[in-house]
Amino acid sequence: MLKRVGQTEMEKNHVTPEGAMIRIKDASYPAPFHPGLEFNSPVHGNWNIVHTGMLMPETIQIYVCADNCMRGVVLTAAEMNAADRFSYVIIEEDDLLNGNLEDITIEGVTDVLKKLERKPKAVLLFTVCLHHFLGCDLKMVYEELDRRFPEIEFVRCYMDPIMQKTGLTPDQKLRKAMYDPLKVQKADPHIVTLLGHNFPLDETSDIKRFLKKCGCELREITTCDTWDKYEKLGEANIFLSIYPTAKYGAQTLAKRLGREHIYMPASFNYEEIKQQMERLAEILEKTLVSKIIQTSEEQIETLNVLIDAQKDSYYEKEIEACEETIKKVREVVGDTPIVIDYLMHPRPLGLAKYLLEHGFCVEAVYLDGVSPEEEQEFYWLSKHAPKLELRATIQPKMRVLPRKHEEKVLALGQKAAWFTQSPYFVNVVEGAGWYGFDGIRKMAELMIRAYEEEKEVEDLVVRKGWGCESCI
């Protein structure tokens, strides 16, 4: 039996938050809300697969799918002024009934490439749900394309949202596929590569400052503007990943190239940050010491930095600086209610815990599920902040539930801002280029600015891919 989802204007005031909002003490881990029909808010600052794929230099993207699915990805490419790097092959109903999906894909891609005046170094070829449904032989498709265009790398990408809830997501698959063209090459012990991140790390981030002191170079795809620079990402002796959906791809690449991988997720926990940096220092020490043949003043300095990085005193100043900064924020913000969303940072519960421990009034966290990385934070908050509200972002009721607050609200993230209609918000997605103690201080400084300066919520949150060039 069909049930009404929407409400008339007269009924909107009678919609209850049950099923869309829940106190954390009553929530279940890791799924506080029942799955079902979903609501998509007009908040588009987070990156999608088109934005992320564009980070590969001297490449184009080709999507093979039906025109109803094509609309969103075409608009994304156009809105970020990258339409010249985007092509598509439309699959029609007759193609499915009378054609061969393998041939349609091969010939469509071939036609696109033959029309290009300048061939790309690589093609990010996105196949879709239909290729799964019809059992398309993708192995044969790529083998034939490789034969026809041996000078072009074909990157196996997927736009298959049917897989969003089980197994690897399209985002995870993409962040792995983007590094598949990297070849086995000689490793340089003074090079570290950060994988799978959409934003370049801030120059002041803990990782960059530390590597610079050690005489090491950090390479990132976000700063590669040529194919040659991209290929040199594989020269690293150590691979890092700091974003959850990047971990799988980074591990896969490290295993294939026989390199060390360190997962250093951005965190608001001082001890976790310390342990991650100590791990990086230990591995660098082993690597660099084994390469030292003659001792020089520069090498001695590097070793001193590595040894100091494994002492408690190394972190005391960093933590003290964090405490001073967050104290200033508390003095400015006071008891203003704070709401957080999962798109601003992959550790929203960790952020809520950090702020609550420092005396802030955290009212709610907007999320639809709890990451396994935040299991401890979930249970800590259930015990120490039982009234904290978890609010869904895709539950249909969120379309009509009231979004106005009578009092001033400080929102951390675009979805938190839109759902509360607060002009006082931190306009950041995916943790931007923050990491470590420096990242905590950057976040704190933005909280003060957000509290003091109003922003246009409706104008900013609809812009796709925060940080990308936008023509909107």
| CATH number of the domain to which 276 belongs | 3.40.50.1980
Q: Which of 177, 204, 222 is the last residue of a domain?
A: 177
CA gap 419, 244 in Å, rounded: 25
CA gap 319, 269 in Å, rounded: 10
* Same domain assignment for residues 170 and 207: no
Instruction: Classify residue 2: in a domain, yes or no.
Output: no
Instruction: Classify residue 444: in a domain, yes or no.
Output: no
Higher pLDDT, 447 or 285: 447
Higher pLDDT, 158 or 293: 158
* Same domain assignment for residues 209 and 297: yes
Question: What is the average pLDDT value for the chain, to the nearest integer?
Answer: 92
Cα-based distances in Å from 35 to 94, 145, 241: 34, 40, 30
Q: Are 250 and 263 in contact (CB under 8 A)?
A: yes
Portion of the chain with pLDDT greater than 90, in percent: 79
Instruction: Classify residue 403: in a domain, yes or no.
Output: no
Instruction: Classify residue 124: in a domain, yes or no.
Output: yes
Instruction: Classify residue 13: in a domain, yes or no.
Output: no
Q: Which distant-in-sequence residues (6+ apart) come within 8 Å of 211 by Cβ?
A: 192, 217, 218
Cα-based distances in Å from 210 to 16, 222, 278, 284: 51, 20, 11, 11
Instruction: Classify residue 458: in a domain, yes or no.
Output: no
Provide the residue range defining the domain that includes 289: 188-315
* Same domain assignment for residues 260 and 169: no
* Same domain assignment for residues 228 and 252: yes
The sheet with strand 389-391 has its strands ordered as 21-23, 389-391, 361-366, 337-341, 410-412, 425-426
Number of Cβ within 10 Å of residue 364's Cβ equals: 24
* Same domain assignment for residues 72 and 148: yes
* Same domain assignment for residues 196 and 269: yes
Cα-based distances in Å from 433 to 53, 173, 236, 457: 18, 22, 20, 22
CA gap 204, 43 in Å, rounded: 29
Q: How many domains does the chain have?
A: 2
Q: Which of 315, 349, 381 is the last residue of a domain?
A: 315
Q: Which of 315, 343, 359 is the last residue of a domain?
A: 315
pLDDT interval class at 192 (50, 70, 90) = very high
- DSSP conformational letter for 204: T
CA gap 67, 75 in Å, rounded: 12
pLDDT at 93: 85
Which range is least confidently modeled, 84-93, 147-156, 355-364? Answer: 84-93
* Same domain assignment for residues 173 and 192: no
pLDDT at 300: 59
* Same domain assignment for residues 64 and 122: yes
Instruction: Classify residue 143: in a domain, yes or no.
Output: yes
Q: Are 443 and 372 in contact (CB under 8 A)?
A: no
Q: Are 158 and 173 in contact (CB under 8 A)?
A: yes
* Same domain assignment for residues 168 and 202: no
* Same domain assignment for residues 66 and 173: yes
Instruction: Classify residue 63: in a domain, yes or no.
Output: yes
Work out the average pLDDT over 311-330: 91
* Same domain assignment for residues 256 and 223: yes
Query: How deeply is 409 buried, as exposed, middle or buried, from its count of CB atoms within 10 A (0-12, 13-18, 19+)?
Result: buried
* Same domain assignment for residues 197 and 309: yes
* pLDDT higher than threshold 50 for residue 322: yes
CA gap 68, 90 in Å, rounded: 10
Measured torsion, CA atoms of residues 306, 311, 316, 322, in degrees rounded to the nearest 10: 50
